[in-house]
Amino acid sequence: MRITAPHLLCVLLLLAGLGAGCGGGGDQPLPSTDPVWYDDLLGRGDDAPTGWPDAAACSPLDRVGGRGGDLVVALGQAVSPEQAPVPRTDAERIVFAACYETLTRVACTGELLVGLAEAWEPLDGGRRWRLHLREDAVFWDGTPVTALDVVQAWTRNLEATRLFARPCPGLWLQPGGGGITARGAHDLEIRLAEPQADLARLLAHPALAVAVRRVGWLWPVGSGPCRLAADADLPLPELMLRPNPHHPRPPRWRSLTVRVLPGADPRDLLGAGVDLAVVRDRRALDYYAGLGDVHRAPLPWDRKYVLLLSPTHEVAPGAVARLAAAEVTVADSRRTDRLTFRRCGKEGCPQLHGPTVSVFSPPLDPDPTLADVRPGRLYHLQDDPDAAALAARIVAGLLPDLQAVAVPATELARSLQDEEGAAYVVRLDACYPSSCLTLAALLAHGHWLQATLPDELSDPDEAAHRLLASGCAVPLADTRATLLWRGPLASLALAHDGTPLLSTLAVAEGEASP
Amino acid sequence: MSTRWRIFLAAVVLVVVPAGILAGFFRGALLESATDEFARDNQARMQGFLAELQRAAAANQRLMRGLAAAAADDNRLRLALVGDRDDLRPYLRDYATQVARTTSLDALALLDADGRILSSAHHRNEFGVSDAGLLQALGNAGGLPGTASDRAPLLERVGPVPDAPPPAAGTAFAIERTPSRAFLAVISRQDFAVGGRTFHWLGGWEPRLQADRLDIGLVTADTVFGDGSPLFGPGLLSEAELADWGRDRAVVWEATTVPLARTGHLEAARLVTAGSLQPLLRQRRQTEQLVLAILTAVLVGAFSLAALLSWQLSRPLADLAGEAERIDLDHPALDFATDRGDEVGQLARVLQAMVQRLRAGARRLADAERRATLGEVARQVNHDLRNGITPVRNVVRHLGETASEHPDQLADVFRQRRGTLDGSLAYLEELAGRYARLAPDTVRRRCDLLAIAREVAAAHGLSDVAGDPGAPDVLADPLSLRRILDNLLRNAREALPDGRGAIRVRVAAVDDPDLGPRCVLTVADDGCGMTPEVQARVLEDFFTTRAGGSGLGLSNVRRLAGDAGGQVRIDSAPGRGTTVTVTFPGAESDS
């Protein structure tokens, strides 16, 4: 690797930031924010995702679609009705995005679109919001969607996200502001603790999708363009999706089978009879590249891995500088040294100082099976091979005094709150259609992260710079999924977080089966 | 037979007979144990072979699973398998060879779902050939047995063996072929999927059919596989030859049955073991030698113990017997006291009590003897008085007869017989005086023994008296010397049969270089003589061979001679007369 002047400057500035300590005074000179790119084994050289993707990137299948056809999609993670419509896995993100609706939608290009709510209005400078539901919004079973259904759905969803230990939109919706109230059959009012200008975008978060439990239905009943067959059994090797005839924009295909293959080699997803798959594995991409009949299209960068370093537990001097030179070879990824978010503008972002993740209320005692958790360890989320690979590389090459430990999400959240470990590898999914909330979600992992920022700071860009300068956060990699398909597919749209919207999938014109 | 020998023989018999029986029993038991041990040892070796086979099979299965994972992870192989990439066909064809080279597998083949060989390491020319039969057979295989049969009789072929717990399925013996040879291999099957299609690894190794001095063979319906022994050479013996060979030269027995994958089916092959009997025979010889050595040692020990025991037991008895032999009235003071608590001690105590009783009896006998001696004295007095009175009575009767018949001759007869009366009276007076001074008051003075001998002999009407004039005087009581001579002469005359024969009295001088001058009195007769038994006891008190004899004559001689310091010796033989020699110390010339 060639050492350039910007390299040295960056290292010096990072060391200066470490010397000042985490949460140093706001008068400290900020480090340079110029991007410094390193060699990437993939050598993709894409620009940093500083904005929303363009229309071309948001339309990987640009052919004209026709009606009819029975499609098969293979997904490599579990899909469970247990906590639906709140997604826990990438596969659930894809399936639930087709079946359940949020109040608003944000297009892949960043455009705010109508969801279940057809109108929204900020009151009191953004402290209250009033929304009006679509009159024609109907669940799969034909019952209309009411404001009370939304309230009940959100209540259940927020509880589910607490169980997942995820910083979710509920953090900024519920506490202290009165929450959400049904003002009529189709009218809702949301009260916030702090004024929030972009609440409408926040409502497009997949964890705020609306679904209700119905007797006789295995899956929660939603109002999305696709419906899940009611008679599906667990375990679910296959899910059958059919068009929701009550939706104004139903899919054009006749049926869509989702093969759920958790734990399967991603190279086996796009097997015989499978039309479309989504993979992240780099070797799988190489493999599929060797198959002549498989098409591929990268989806927008949707996941960022960040290394969080606890200021309480001193990491070896110079570790951060060395981390900046770490090679990252996970998934379809690229290394980054910046905390950049889509549309990370200069709008005020009060959520940066908001509540942190509270997994349990009241907090539970530490998991006795993890009683040997102690400082000197680097925690990462289990069941995340990319996080595990990053942690292993960091421990092996840069921070040999640490020990990588894979823990469940709840335990990771608890240890972050308690600042128990020396370091953490956390991931940020692009499910927040707001750069402000994405950064806030990162800071919500612990008060010790929020303490790195001055109290009144609300500029997300500056907040990101200060967080980096504190040495408490080191961005590691951006990763993305790749869409693979075989056969004449057409017209696939993406959600704001890069999720393929299966409801928009279609067979190419003239190829659909009768 | 002495008690010692009896004890010895009894001990020997009591030890030797049971030892012999036990030796026979232990010999049989040891030989049987050695045989069993040999069988168990071979069984254990076979067990170890099977366990090793199991471990190797498990390792092979793990390896095959790893190969499946590696194959599924190899993008090029994936593309070759499901991508129909012609450019990757050589890679696919060489894949098994490369993998086998890395893993040291003896047989490895990659098959598709239909059983067609896509890649083979041991037979590269089989590309495209269907091996579906073997694939199917391995699919039905339950695995290798983990244990051998419980017991396999020596030199005996056994029937079916109990089924062993099956290990992981998909492993069996199989006959693989290379272009140059066929060989027996343990093959595992491992399935894996790529791109929704199923493929199979068939791989394994050629087992070494030996286990520590034990040759192992796999007997199928038509073939015997094995190595390392004449039995399992390339010639492949028939079943009958196998049995004959085992009966004559070695031990062959069946261990267990194993699955053998043949084309399209599984058959039960028998895993047999063969080994030489020499170790067992050698062990049996050693056992017999050991038993013989132990028996010999036991016998030697038994003899030694018997000898020691008999000596230990008989020695106290012999000692008691020796002591008891010395018991007589002259030695009544023997001590048998002992602190032993056994029967010998009890016997010693009995003897001790007996000796004590004997000692008391001797005392009583001595008292009785003294009393008898007093009676003898009385009889002696009576005898002596009669000797003195008888002439007086004869003279008085002669005088009375003369007075009545020839009163006139009375004075003449009185004068003639007055000397007899005076002598008898003088004798009586002297005798009375002597008895008055009986016992201690003897007067010892120098006496001319020859003169006294002549005087006494004359009294007894004997004339053959001779002596050495130079004989020394004897320092003794003259009366004692007269009594000695009187007793000796009377005995000699009584010994003469019918009074015929000579009695010779001699007095001689002897000069003993140690004891000085001696005066020897000899009284010899031509009488009947004495037997040695009589001679041995003739000096005892009250011993007599004559009816009416007192048995005190010679004993008095012995005592009287002893009082004078003399010694009495008797030389006699039946029919040859008796010579009594009394040797007195000579009186000092100046005394």
- Is residue A458 very low, low, confident or very high in pLDDT (cuts 50, 70, 90)? confident
Q: Identify the CA nearest to B449 among candidates B525, B552, B518.
A: B518
Position B343: which residue type? E
> What pLDDT, on a 0 to 100 scale, did the predictor assign at position A37?
29
Counting residues of chain B whose pLDDT is more than 90, the rounded percentage is: 12
Mean pLDDT of all residues in A303-309: 89
d(CA B144, CA B169): 8
Give the confidence band of B167 by pLDDT, cuts at 50, 70, 90.
Answer: very low
Both structure tokens of B563: 């009082």
How far are the Cα atoms of A80, A269, B3 from residue A275, in angstroms, in the given order? Answer: 22, 10, 117
What is the average pLDDT value for chain A, to the nearest integer? Answer: 78
Which range among A44-58, A309-323, A462-476, B574-588 shows the weakest confidence by mean pLDDT? Answer: A44-58
Q: How far is B171 from chain A (nearest CA, A)?
A: 26
Sorted by sequence, the CB contacts under 8 Å of residue B503 that are 6+ apart come out as B462, B464, B489, B492, B493, B496, B523, B524, B525, B526
Nearest to A428 by CA among A456, A397, A467: A467
B193: closest chain A residue by CA = A268
Q: What is the pLDDT of residue A348?
A: 66
Q: Give me the pLDDT at residue B66, please.
A: 93
| Cβ pairs A/B, distance under 8 A | 37
* The most confident of A63-72, A102-111, A192-201, B374-383, by mean pLDDT: A102-111
pLDDT value at residue B553: 82
What is the C-alpha separation between A470 and A443, in angstroms, rounded?
13
CB distance B263 to B138 below 8 Å: no
- Closest CB to B195 among A268, A286, A292: A268
Return the percentage of chain B with pLDDT > 70, whole number: 82
pLDDT band at residue B441 under the 50/70/90 scheme: low
- Within 8 A of A274 by CB-CB distance, chain B residues are 196
Among A287, A288, A294, most B C-beta atoms within 10 A, so best to mutate, is A287
| A-contacting residues in B 517-556 (Cβ below 8 Å) | none
**Cβ–Cβ below 8 Å for A286 and B75:** yes
Query: Per mean pLDDT, which range of A158-172, A367-381, B106-120 is the poorest?
Result: A367-381
In which band, very low, low, confident or very high, does the pLDDT at A373 lie, cut at 50, 70 and 90? Answer: very low
Predicted model pTM? 0.61
- Chain B closest-CA separation from residue A335 CA (Å): 25
What pLDDT score was predicted for residue B479? 83
B48 touches chain A (CB under 8 A): no
Q: Which of B79, B198, B199 to mutate to test the interface with A (most CBs of A within 10 A)?
A: B79
Q: Which of A185, A199, A175 is nearest to A124 (CA)?
A: A199
B196–A265 CB contact, under 8 Å: no
Is the confidence at residue B229, as pLDDT, over 80? no
Mean predicted lDDT score pLDDT of chain B: 78
> Is the confidence at residue A74, as pLDDT, over 90?
yes
Go through chain A and tell me how many residues it has.
514
Which pLDDT belongs to residue B95? 93
Evaluate if residue A231 carries a pLDDT over 50.
Answer: yes
Rounded to an integer, the average pLDDT of B224-228 is: 59
The whole-angstrom separation of Cα B157 and Cα B253 is 5
DSSP per-residue codes, A362-431: SPPPPPGGGTT--SSEEEEETT-HHHHHHHHHHHHHT-TTSEEEEE-HHHHHHHHHTT-SSEEEEEEETT
Q: Is the peptide bond before A243 cis (omega within 30 degrees of 0)?
A: no
What does the pLDDT read at residue B226?
A: 62
Which amino acid would we find at residue A471? Answer: G
pLDDT band, very low/low/confident/very high, at B506 (cuts 50, 70, 90): very high
In a 10 Å sphere around its CB, with 0-12 CB exposed, 13-18 middle and 19+ buried, how is residue B64 labelled? buried
By three-state DSSP, how is residue B283 classified?
helix
Phi, psi of B473 (to 5 degrees): -70, 160
Measured between CB atoms, does B87 come within 8 Å of chain A? no
Residue A382 burial by Cβ neighbours in a 10 Å radius (0-12, 13-18, 19+): middle
**Average pLDDT score over residue span B286-300:** 88
pLDDT tens per residue across span B146-163: 554 443 333 333 333 334
Cross-chain residue pair B194–A286, CB shorter than 8 Å: no
In this complex, do A272 and B197 lie within 8 Å of one another by their Cβ atoms? yes
Confidence at residue A145, expressed as pLDDT on a 0 to 100 scale = 95
With 60 as the cut, is the pLDDT of residue B233 above it?
Answer: no
Average pLDDT over residues A315-330: 60
In 3D space, the residue among A235, A289, A243 whose CA is nearest the CA of residue A259 turns out to be A235
Question: Which of B78, B81, B87, B198 is most worth mutating to test chain A (most A CB atoms within 10 A of its CB)?
Answer: B78
pLDDT tens digits along A179-213: 788 999 999 999 887 787 778 888 898 889 999 99
Q: Do B79 and A291 touch (CB under 8 A)?
A: yes
Residues A159-175 pLDDT 10s: 887 777 766 676 667 64
- pLDDT tens-place string over residues A30-67: 333 333 322 332 333 344 445 677 788 888 887 777 88
Minimum mean pLDDT range among A472-486, B115-129, B319-333, B381-395: B319-333
pLDDT (0 to 100) of residue B311: 86
B196 contacts chain A (CB < 8 A): yes
Which of A132-136, A424-428, B401-405 is predicted least confidently? B401-405
Tokens of A1: 């690797």
Closest CA to B523 of B574, B453, B460: B453
Chain B neighbors of A268, CB-CB under 8 A: 72, 193-196
Instruction: State the pLDDT at residue B99.
Output: 93
Encode pLDDT of A341-351 as tens digits.
Answer: 665 455 667 77
Residue of A nearest to B72 (CA): A265
Burial of residue A85, with CB atoms counted within 10 A of its CB: 0-12 exposed, 13-18 middle, 19 or more buried: buried
> Which residues, 6 or more positions from B389, have their beta carbon under 8 angstroms from its beta carbon?
B424, B428
Whether residue B89 lies within 8 A of chain A, CB to CB, comes out as no
pLDDT of residue B335: 74
3 state DSSP class of B455: helix
Residue range B501-521: average pLDDT? Answer: 89
Of A259-273, B253-267, B464-478, the least confident: B253-267
% of residues, chain A, pLDDT over 70: 75
- Range with lowest mean pLDDT among B19-33, B48-62, B438-452: B438-452
Q: Which residues of B touch A273 (CB under 8 A)?
A: 196
The answer to whether the complex's ipTM is over 0.85 is no
pLDDT at A126 over 90: no
A287 contacts in chain B (CB < 8 Å): 75, 78-79
* The pLDDT value given to residue B224: 65
Task: Name the minimum distance, in Å, from the CA of B63 to any CA of chain A.
Answer: 19
Model confidence at A139, pLDDT cuts 50, 70, 90, reads very high
How confident is the model at residue B521, as a pLDDT?
Answer: 93
Which residues of A lie closer than 8 Å to B, measured between beta carbons? Answer: 265, 267-268, 270-274, 283, 286-287, 290-292
A contacts of B75 (beta carbons < 8 Å) = 267, 283, 286-287, 290
Residue count of chain B, please give it: 591
* pLDDT tens sequence across B408-434: 888 888 888 788 778 778 878 877 777
Asked if the model's pLDDT at residue A452 lies above 80, the reply is: yes
Task: Pick the residue of A72, A265, A293 with the most B CBs within 10 A to test the interface with B by mutation.
Answer: A265
